Structure 1
Amino acid sequence: MMNIFPIILYLTSLINIVLAGDYIPKDHILVNCGTFDRKTTDSDGRIWSSDKGSKYLVSSKGTFRASGKTQAPDVGRVPYLSARVMYSNATYNFPVSPGRVFLRLYFYPNVYSRSNAANAVFSVTVGSYALLRNFNVYKSTQQLDVHYLVKEYYVNVDSGTLTVTFSPSYNTFAFVNGIEVVSMPSLYDNEDGDNIIGASSPFQIENSTTLESLYRLNVGGNYIPPTKDELSRSWYDDSPYRSSYMLGVAEIADPGLSITYRKSLPSYTAPVGVYTTARYMTPDSFRNLEFNLTWLLPIDTRFAYLVRLHFCQILSNIDKVNQMVFNIYINQITAFSAVDVIALTNSNGAPYIMDFVVIMPITKDPKQDLRVELNPNTKYRPQYYNAFLNGLEIFKINNTDGSLTI
């Protein structure tokens, strides 16, 4: 494969992961913004509180509560059918334990009272970090062909208070349907960094780094709801992003094969549902030499991205070194060659992760496809020419001015 454009950094899979078992978040806040009910329950059974009179909404002048006038078939009532509409700056303060949190913002463009959310343009900041700038929810949903959006961010809190500010653009307004805050371990940090391919300096993901979650895919499997994830994450089917003339084969863990989390890779890394399914190439080793298992994921130009790959060998007959060895390419760069998951974990049924940082090239096009590919490594003559992947996460990394938006 040709080494063409972006720069990639490989980060070891075992750094900065808390040696712990099941994780129970210290803080988990669910706010159904604008609702007239004190408590509401979503389709997953989670209980949301109203922001009316709450300790969280500290600046509400020029805002009001409203209910949506329509409901698309795939849109749940909670938190999407009520909104806090803001014609001036509004601030939420969330008291949380110092450390990392997931911040999730829920949006459903609707008509709220006399305010049509299609016309809402606004910015969202957390401290000095610009999460959204001149953002129009309606246009984003139209581009993605969806009815609603969830914007998720990995944020560090130093002071014990997470401050989220919504600022309407000139002569328009802002809105939000729901806000979720979940405390979490430093699951994606890497303060030591590692060598960047093609450069001499390391790339660090540290406390000052903020990430935006773009893709979280259960490769070869089905949707996993937040109630099945210790950090309340949602995992989606990878089918829309597969791109090759051979799409591979979805497999389920062989009966009797148990998934064993090691102390260095605890269960909150990803739910067991991610590691019990995978996408392989085909049963034909020689046909597998003719194509790459490929995913294409649209991203913004001018940013760096954290790419996390999840592996777990779920075929019971693959339990020895050099039975299945493959290469990883990101944007046509060899990111890692000769991956042997059994050699890395010493057994099947044992999860493993690899992290890469990709610095995208500057182009005139504001959007590019991030390309992830796997193919068999033949150098060591493994027993099977095949490759597989269980899960894929992609995060945008804030730029030097703290922004996650162009």
Structure 2
Amino acid sequence: MGGDFRHFSSHVSLLLLFLLIVKSSSSFTPADNYLIDCGSSDETKLSDGRNFKSDQQSVAFLQTDEDIKTSVDSIPITDSNASTLPLYLTARIFAGKSTYSFYISRPGRHWIRLHFYPLNHPLYNLTNSVFSVTTDTTVLLHDFSAGDTSSIVFKEYLIYAAEKLSLYFKPHKGSTAFINAVEIVSVPDELVPDSASSVPQAPDFKGLSSFSLEILHRINIGGDLISPKIDPLSRTWLSDKPYNTFPEGSRNVTVDPSTITYPDGGATALIAPNPVYATAEEMADAQTSQPNFNLSWRMSVDFGHDYFIRLHFCDIVSKSLNDLIFNVFINKLSAISALDLSSLTSALGTAYYADFVLNASTITNGSILVQVGPTPNLQSGKPNAILNGLEIMKLNNAAGSLDGLFGVDGKYKGPIGGMSSKKLAIAGIGFVMALTAFLGSLELHLEQRRVNVEADEYFRVKEE
């Protein structure tokens, strides 16, 4: 019996170890975690479990000349992500340049999450506010306006910080700035790599760690909204329905999230929670044995930036290995040819993700198109393709900006007169050459005229 007990105990120990490993891989305790409900007189606890400090508790982080705050009892917003709505009931207003400064205990990437909603104030019309927000190195917002009161504005960034992170709010001349809530939170090192595959295909893009990123789209393909309460990094994942350009060609697939497996050395719940991998869109049945179409999602983006794109995959549609092989395209350029998830994960229902950097030159219509489609001439398996999730992040441009062509010093860093510096230099050289040629021609013309005048005088004298 003692042997049986020891045998049982060893099984329990292994189970506890397994649970500990699973828990550690899906949880993260940020070294820095500043959550401020600006303008609030009391702490604000959200339904997702996060606790935001009151304005008074956070005053030590703020440097501003005037103490201007506003609050309301409710706002006319019906938002599917209702957990964060309490943050938009109060705001702090800045009539001049103001700064939030945070001590950073662990250098690395940090979330900067900014919440905006123009509340009423007897002296300031926040719907007309125009202002910029910068760090010491990156322009986050330039001449930003939250607009009317029809919707909240949420901005999310990934910024490297060491020792101190400062946020500068700079109102436009004659205007004001405001902020409803601020989040400065450490990010796991594994979240963003230093390199990614290039699109168009070329050597890998390296040096991602030196860029600041703005999260533009985080989409749960085939599923509903995933709230910060479910995501271990308090992220929000939106439904793909507004972005699916060919819904009649796609079919939703869903499995129990608990059946999703994370492979050793690969995707973890910090990369994406299991509900992302537990839903997908696959190709709907076509009236042909060789369907010739792609599943497509289109997302709006800005010109003049490269983009970091992460695609999430998990084979929750196949009955056996090696039945699902498909192609991946970004802006109609090949990103992955003949993607075989089985060869990469060696199992079904196993999370996988792929990272890309899309070159700015490929963005011609203000959008990014992600497509998946069957690989032609398959020898086995039914033609099919899937996608489970996608993320799109903007990289800062040469001006060090995520919003326009002005640097943190307020100076314009972009092309002059719509021309790049290279084109401007070429144009300048061309102008100088043209001017030299013109002056030379003019000098020759004047010299010829002088000769003609002298000749006229000579012949007139001879005739006399």
Give the TM bin, normalised by the shorter chain. Answer: 0.7 to 0.9
Equivalent residue number for residue 157 of structure 2 = 153
Partners of 1:124 and 1:223 in 2: CA distance:
29
Partners of 2:326 and 2:340 in 1: CA distance:
7
Residues 2-44 of structure 1, C-alpha deviation per residue, up to 9 Å, x if partnerless?
xxxxxxxxxxxxxxxxxx713222232211001122x122243
Higher RCO structure (Cα 8 Å, ≥6 apart)? 1
Equivalent residue number for residue 286 of structure 1 = 288
**CA 1:274 to 1:57, structure 2 compared with 1: closer, same or farther past 3 Å?**
same
Residues 67-88 of structure 1, C-alpha deviation per residue, up to 9 Å, x if partnerless?
1476114255520010011111
Contact 2:226–2:238, Cα closer than 8 Å, also in 1 = yes
Residues 289-347 of structure 1, C-alpha deviation per residue, up to 9 Å, x if partnerless?
232100010100111101110001113x43312x1111111111111110111111100
Partners of 1:188 and 1:105 in 2: CA distance:
20
1:330 aligns with 2:333: no
Equivalent residue number for residue 42 of structure 1 = 46
Aligned amino acid, residue 40 of structure 2:
T
Aligned amino acid, residue 370 of structure 1:
I
1:102 aligns with 2:111: yes
Partners of 1:175 and 1:206 in 2: CA distance:
31
Structure 1 stretches of at least 4 aligned residues deviating more than 4 Å after TM superposition: 192-196
Aligned amino acid, residue 206 of structure 1:
L
Equivalent residue number for residue 174 of structure 1 = 177
TM-score, normalising length from structure 2?
0.75
**CA 1:167 to 1:105, structure 2 compared with 1: closer, same or farther past 3 Å?**
same
Indicate which of 26, 32, 39 corresponds to 1:27: 32
Equivalent residue number for residue 59 of structure 1 = 63
1:165 aligns with 2:174: no
**CA 1:270 to 1:362, structure 2 compared with 1: closer, same or farther past 3 Å?**
closer
Aligned-partner SS, 2:368:
strand
Partners of 1:245 and 1:220 in 2: CA distance:
10
**1:107-256 → structure 2 map (5 Å cutoff):** 107-138=116-147, 147-159=151-163, 161-192=164-195, 197=200, 202-244=204-246, 246-253=248-255
Aligned amino acid, residue 184 of structure 1:
V
Indicate which of 302, 312, 328 corresponds to 1:310: 312
Q: Which stretch shows the higher mean deviation, 263-272 or 72-81? A: 72-81
**1:344-359 → structure 2 map (5 Å cutoff):** 344-359=344-359
**CA 1:192 to 1:386, structure 2 compared with 1: closer, same or farther past 3 Å?**
closer
Equivalent residue number for residue 369 of structure 1 = 367
Equivalent residue number for residue 9 of structure 2 = none
Contact 2:257–2:275, Cα closer than 8 Å, also in 1 = no
Q: How many residues are treated as equivalent by the alignment?
A: 374
**CA 1:345 to 1:168, structure 2 compared with 1: closer, same or farther past 3 Å?**
same
Which consecutive unaligned segments of at least 5 residues does structure 2 have?
1-23, 405-464
Q: Which stretch shows the higher mean deviation, 176-185 or 56-65? A: 56-65
Q: Percent identity between the aligned chains? A: 34
Equivalent residue number for residue 360 of structure 2 = 360
Partners of 1:325 and 1:70 in 2: CA distance:
51
Q: Which stretch shows the higher mean deviation, 374-383 or 149-158? A: 374-383
Equivalent residue number for residue 262 of structure 2 = 261
Contact 1:319–1:342, Cα closer than 8 Å, also in 2 = no
Contact 1:69–1:110, Cα closer than 8 Å, also in 2 = no
Contact 2:199–2:358, Cα closer than 8 Å, also in 1 = no
**Structure with max Cα Rg:** 2
Partners of 1:56 and 1:103 in 2: CA distance:
18
CA drift at 1:243: 0.4
**CA 1:256 to 1:136, structure 2 compared with 1: closer, same or farther past 3 Å?**
closer
Partners of 2:77 and 2:127 in 1: CA distance:
19
Partners of 1:351 and 1:198 in 2: CA distance:
24
Aligned amino acid, residue 334 of structure 2:
T
Partners of 1:394 and 1:288 in 2: CA distance:
31
Aligned-partner SS, 2:222:
coil
Equivalent residue number for residue 87 of structure 2 = 79
Please provide the CA RMSD for this pair. Answer: 2.4
CA drift at 1:65: 1.1
Partners of 2:291 and 2:218 in 1: CA distance:
28
Residues 143-189 of structure 1, C-alpha deviation per residue, up to 9 Å, x if partnerless?
xxx61111000111122x22111111111011110111221113443
**CA 1:162 to 1:209, structure 2 compared with 1: closer, same or farther past 3 Å?**
same
Contact 1:246–1:293, Cα closer than 8 Å, also in 2 = no
Partners of 2:290 and 2:241 in 1: CA distance:
19
Aligned amino acid, residue 168 of structure 2:
T
Aligned amino acid, residue 152 of structure 2:
Y
Aligned amino acid, residue 64 of structure 2:
S
Contact 1:66–1:82, Cα closer than 8 Å, also in 2 = yes
**CA 1:62 to 1:283, structure 2 compared with 1: closer, same or farther past 3 Å?**
same
Partners of 1:247 and 1:107 in 2: CA distance:
38
Equivalent residue number for residue 4 of structure 1 = none
Please identify which structure carries the higher helix content.
Answer: 2
Aligned amino acid, residue 96 of structure 2:
S
Aligned amino acid, residue 115 of structure 1:
Y
**CA 1:343 to 1:199, structure 2 compared with 1: closer, same or farther past 3 Å?**
closer
Contact 2:253–2:282, Cα closer than 8 Å, also in 1 = yes
TM-score, normalising length from structure 1?
0.85
Residues 190-248 of structure 1, C-alpha deviation per residue, up to 9 Å, x if partnerless?
33555664656x42243321100000001001111111111110011000001026341
